[in-house]
């Protein structure tokens, strides 16, 4: 009996790790298992999901679950209810005739508490292609703007930060002039506390205007890498949270967000100075006496993943790129009646996909930078991510023609595990010159 119980516990843990994505410490556990173990199907191939629900680890029988499903981030095409007889229900969610992802959303009420869950399945996602067009003068546009930016001297200040330093790492707060005179960005520079020459890792930030610190990535410097965690708005990253909230409100949101500021004009779009500041940060990093003179890696997640890929396309000094679930990817994709990339200009903003704005986006979209990358790239993303949907991550990955490698983690929403963070560094180490 003990052996049977142990086998059940192991099976339950396996399902918990592989086929669900739960709120932390929830009393209720959803187990949703597609009939294809990799969650992938061909177009016109029917997909089904086996659903089970546990409360306090106890299988719930004969309960009713409401469902709806349709293309991800688009209106549902079907909805209804299913009863989990004997604790299990089999739900067919049909198929797709075009490459993409279908999202099945589940909901139930138990003891007066509502619980939700979702799972996305892919249909020939390796065939997804961008809606965003590649402008004929794309490369020249950025060459011209980089040349103007280079006219601004790279000026910086360097301040030791003891709270982020230890017996293996020295940390400094850098204030860096980049795009034009008087325009600054900040960042935390972490350097191994030993003599030698080291690869540099450039890491731009995720979206938003918020405090930052380098603690979760100190293991890079502890492993023998120089790392620069960059801020992009010219705001000191060590201000308190309340001050950042006030600053964020002053920047505005929705149609006043920095991500749409100046979007009618490719020369005045806010993100131009961000992209060019990333390139100028590489100027600074490659001037460090501790740099090994060979390796420059761009690495980041979400908006940071987008900026890592963009900087890799813009700057031939970068030797490898690692990005997870990149934002700013095929942002006009909603015009193709499917999910577009963060910041979701079709469903979270007003009148943001006009012809003029779509034209500007084509000069700033990750997919067009991905096409001109010629160094090794590592990407990782999950299927259940609604912030940076798998449709757009696949579109970026499919657009890359250089040596590339992917880690697919279907259950993940908008996060990566500590294990994956270290796996990224392992990949970087294997791709050093």
| CATH number for position 30 | 2.60.40.1930
Give 249's contacts (C-beta < 8 A, 6+ positions apart).
none
Residue 103 belongs to a domain: yes
pLDDT above 90 covers what percent of the chain? 86
Residue found under tokens 């360097």 = 158
Examine residue 132 and state whether it is found in any structural domain, yes or no. Answer: no
Catalytic residue of the set 117, 217, 325, 414: 414
Q: Which domain holds residue 296?
A: 138-430
pLDDT of residue 25: 78
**Distance, CA of 25 to CA of 16 (rounded, Å):** 13
Average pLDDT of the segment spanning 311-337: 97
**Within a domain: residue 316?**
yes
Q: How far apart, in whole angstroms, are the C-alpha atoms of residue 3 and residue 171? A: 52
- φ/ψ region of 117 (left if φ > 0, alpha if ψ in -120 to 50, else beta) reads beta
Domain end point (choices 92, 127, 162): 127
Q: What is the pLDDT of residue 7?
A: 36
Q: How many domains does the chain have?
A: 2
Options 103, 229, 315, 385, the catalytic residue: 385
Q: Are residues 122 and 149 in the same domain?
A: no
283 and 344 in a common domain: yes
Comparing 184 with 22, which gets the higher pLDDT? Answer: 184
Of the candidates 203, 277, 302, 393, the residue annotated as catalytic is 302
Give yes or no: residues 105 and 143 share one domain: no
Does 41 map to a domain? yes
On whether both 30 and 114 belong to a single domain, the answer is yes
Catalytic residue flag (residue 137): no
Its pTM stands at 0.93
Residue 2 binned pLDDT confidence (cut-offs 50, 70, 90): very low
Average pLDDT, the chain: 93
**Domain assignment of residue 258, yes or no:** yes
| CATH assignment at residue 201 | 3.40.50.1820
- Most confident range, picked from 3-12, 130-139, 145-154: 130-139
Is residue 377 domain-shared with residue 400, that is, in the same domain?
A: yes
* 176's tokens: 């860096």
Q: Do β-strands 226-230 and 184-192 pair in parallel, antiparallel, or remain unpaired?
A: antiparallel
| Angle (nearest 5°) at CA 294 between 283 and 167 | 85
Contact 101, 389 (CB under 8 A): yes
Q: Are residues 150 and 183 in the same domain?
A: yes
| Domain membership flag for residue 203 | yes
Check whether residue 209 and residue 231 sit in a common domain: yes
Residues 258, 122 within the same domain: no
| Statement to judge: residues 381 and 420 lie in one domain | yes
pLDDT exceeds 70 at position 181: yes
Q: What would the mean pLDDT of 67-80 be, rounded to a whole number?
A: 97
Q: Are residues 104 and 249 in the same domain?
A: no
Q: What is the distance between the alpha carbons of residues 170 and 215, in angstroms, rounded to a whole number?
A: 12
Domain-embedded: residue 133:
no
Boundary of a domain, candidates 107, 127, 147: 127
Asked if 297 and 380 sit in the same domain, the reply is: yes
Task: Round to whole Å and give the CA distance between 377 and 322.
Answer: 6
CA atoms within 13 A on the CB side of 321: 33
- Which of these three, 127, 155, 180, is where a domain ends? 127
**Mean pLDDT, residues 160-180:** 96
Catalytic site includes residue 414 = yes
Q: Are residues 33 and 142 in the same domain?
A: no
Q: Is 417 a catalytic residue?
A: no
Closest CA to 73 of 309, 331, 258: 331
pLDDT band with cut points at 50, 70 and 90 for residue 14: very low
Whether 242 is covered by a domain: the verdict is yes
Distances (CA, A) of 373 to 13, 26, 136, 191, 376: 40, 43, 17, 27, 8
């Amino acid at each position: 009996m003990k052996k049977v119980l142990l086998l059940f516990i192991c099976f339950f843990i396996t399902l918990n790790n592989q086929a669900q994505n739960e709120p932390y410490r929830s009393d209720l556990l959803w187990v949703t298992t597609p009939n294809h173990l990799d969650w992938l199907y061909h177009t016109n191939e029917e997909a089904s999901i086996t659903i089970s629900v546990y409360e306090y680890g106890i299988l719930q029988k004969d309960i009713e679950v409401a469902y709806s499903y349709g293309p991800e981030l688009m209106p549902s095409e079907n909805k209804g209810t299913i009863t989990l007889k004997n604790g299990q229900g089999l739900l067919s969610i049909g198929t797709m005739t075009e490459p993409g992802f279908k999202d099945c959303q589940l909901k139930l009420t138990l003891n007066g508490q509502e619980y939700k869950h979702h799972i996305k399945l892919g249909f020939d996602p390796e065939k997804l292609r961008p809606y965003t067009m590649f402008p004929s003068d794309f490369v020249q546009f950025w060459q011209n703007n980089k040349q103007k930016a280079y006219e601004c001297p790279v000026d910086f200040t360097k301040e030791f930060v003891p709270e982020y330093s230890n017996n293996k790492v020295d940390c400094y707060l850098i204030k860096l002039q980049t795009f034009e005179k008087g325009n600054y960005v900040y960042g935390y520079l972490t350097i191994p506390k030993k003599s030698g020459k080291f690869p540099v890792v450039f890491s731009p930030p995720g979206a938003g205007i918020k405090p930052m610190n380098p603690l979760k990535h100190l293991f890079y410097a502890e492993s023998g890498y120089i790392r620069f965690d960059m801020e992009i708005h010219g705001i000191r990253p060590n201000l308190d949270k309340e001050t950042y909230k006030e600053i964020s409100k002053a920047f505005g949101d929705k149609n006043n967000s920095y991500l749409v500021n100046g979007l009618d004009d490719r020369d005045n779009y806010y993100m131009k100075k961000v992209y060019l500041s990333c390139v100028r940060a590489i100027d600074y990093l490659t001037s460090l006496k501790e740099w090994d003179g060979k390796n420059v890696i761009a690495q980041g997640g979400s908006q940071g993943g987008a900026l890592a890929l963009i900087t890799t396309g813009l700057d031939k000094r970068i030797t490898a790129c690692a990005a997870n679930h990149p934002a700013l990817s095929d942002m006009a994709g909603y015009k193709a009646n499917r999910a577009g990339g963060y910041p979701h200009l079709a469903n979270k903003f007003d009148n943001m996909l006009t012809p003029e704005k779509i034209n500007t986006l084509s000069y700033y979209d990750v997919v067009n930078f991905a096409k001109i990358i010629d160094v090794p790239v590592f990407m990782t993303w999950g299927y259940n991510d609604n912030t940076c949907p798998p449709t757009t991550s696949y579109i970026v990955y499919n657009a890359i023609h250089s040596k590339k490698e992917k880690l697919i983690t279907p259950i993940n929403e908008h996060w990566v595990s500590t294990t994956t963070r270290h796996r990224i560094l392992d990949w970087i180490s294997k791709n050093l010159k």
